[in-house]
Amino acid sequence: MKKTIGLRIDVDTFRGTARGVGTLCEILEKYNVKGTFYFSVGPDNMGRHLWRLLKPAFLWKMLRTNAAGLYGPEIVLMGTAWPGPRIGKHHADVIRRTAAAGHECGFHAWDHHYAQARLMTMSREAMRKEISRGVDALTEICGAAPRTSAAPGWRANELLLKVKQEFPFTYNSDCRRGQPFYPVVDGEKLSQLQIPVTLPTYDEVLGRDGVGDDNYNDYQLSLLNEDELNVLTIHAEAEGGRCAPMFDAYLKAVLDRGYRVVPLGSIAEETAGTAPSGKMILAEFPGREGVLAVQETK
Ligand SMILES: [Zn+2]
């Protein structure tokens, strides 16, 4: 797949939905680009992340990326003293407008924080319930079931892939590294295509190896592979907020270089049936805490 970038936009929080999604839709409209938005529709409990400040690795990451600056001061209180507000209930119109603008709308999470922290240790039944709640809410908002999903924080295991098979997704984006593949679990080739994210996110690289806001776009551009599919994840909270001008410049730069930027659904259509089989494993990943799902390389 020559000179192609699959664009994926993760929406994790109440604030990101309220403020970031609209900003990103404006930027994408300016360049006539469509992307795949992954929405979180249940309660915003991201404030609970603050407890993780007790972990040194997370504290370091917060300092590196100025998370309070990215996510806003509400993140400090959200979900700590009272149940977080339900994003889909308050901002259904934002999700509908995104779909009406021609973007693909996929399922990210019911409760992003809970799923990111616990999904991988859940039983099959608990996983099913967590996904069902979110998919039902998103289906009600959009009037149609989402055909794609993306595990929060790429925290996905093989059981989760099997559970997802029970939902009407045609493809998912749950892991990092590699090219589109059909996961094989317990010797069985699953029918839902997997589209891995190939490029790092803003929070993963900022403050590492001398990368700052002034050279972030140059760094991202240097990672593009002309001959293979590139998949980029941006966040409504970052690129739809403080980093919006930088993302605008990035989009202009890649289009000027002759890249096409497409939603993941387009890639799924182009590779359906022809993508090879592969295996998803858990591994440590630069810029992230703990393990996450990656495509196994041979
Ligand atoms: Zn997320």
pLDDT-based confidence at 69, cuts 50/70/90?
low
The CATH homologous superfamily to which domain 4-295 belongs is Glycoside hydrolase/deacetylase (3.20.20.370)
Using DSSP's 3-state secondary structure scheme, residue 80 falls into coil
Residue 93: C-alpha distances to residues 99, 108, 141, 284 (Å): 10, 17, 8, 37
Spatial distance between the Cα atoms of 26 and 10, rounded to a whole number of angstroms: 16
Q: Measure 38 CA to ligand 1 centroid, in angstroms.
A: 8
**pTM score, whole prediction:** 0.90
Q: Measure 75 CA to ligand 1 centroid, in angstroms.
A: 14
How big is the chain, counted in residues? 298
Long-range contacts of 275-278 (CB under 8 A, 24+ apart): 275/179, 275/180, 275/181, 275/182, 275/193, 276/181, 276/182, 277/181, 277/182, 277/183, 277/184, 277/189, 278/178, 278/181, 278/182, 278/183, 278/184, 278/194
Q: Measure 12 CA to ligand 1 centroid, in angstroms.
A: 5
Look at residue 85 in the predicted model and tell me its pLDDT.
79
Q: How many CB atoms lie within 10 A of CB 185?
A: 16
Q: Measure 112 CA to ligand 1 centroid, in angstroms.
A: 7
Look at residue 298 in the predicted model and tell me its pLDDT.
74
Q: Measure 37 CA to ligand 1 centroid, in angstroms.
A: 11
Number of H helices, E strands in the chain: 13, 13
Spatial distance between the Cα atoms of 289 and 282, rounded to a whole number of angstroms: 12
Model confidence pLDDT, tens digit, residues 161-200: 999 999 999 999 999 999 999 999 999 999 999 999 999 9
Q: Measure 172 CA to ligand 1 centroid, in angstroms.
A: 14
pLDDT-based confidence at 83, cuts 50/70/90?
low
Alpha helices by DSSP H, the chain: 14-15, 21-30, 56-65, 67-71, 87-90, 92-100, 112-118, 124-142, 158-164, 202-205, 216-223, 244-256, 264-271
Model confidence pLDDT, tens digit, residues 3-19: 999 999 999 999 899 99
Q: Measure 108 CA to ligand 1 centroid, in angstroms.
A: 7
**Does residue 227 have a pLDDT over 70?**
yes
Model confidence pLDDT, tens digit, residues 107-139: 999 999 999 989 999 999 999 999 999 999 999
Mean pLDDT taken over the chain: 91
**CB-CB contact of 63 with 203 (8 Å):** no
**Does residue 214 have a pLDDT over 50?**
yes
Look at residue 34 in the predicted model and tell me its pLDDT.
98
Look at residue 45 in the predicted model and tell me its pLDDT.
82
Q: Measure 235 CA to ligand 1 centroid, in angstroms.
A: 8
Q: Measure 9 CA to ligand 1 centroid, in angstroms.
A: 9
Chain mean position to CA 55: 23
Look at residue 73 in the predicted model and tell me its pLDDT.
53
Q: Measure 107 CA to ligand 1 centroid, in angstroms.
A: 10
Structure tokens at 75: 């993140």
Q: Measure 106 CA to ligand 1 centroid, in angstroms.
A: 12
Q: Measure 270 CA to ligand 1 centroid, in angstroms.
A: 26
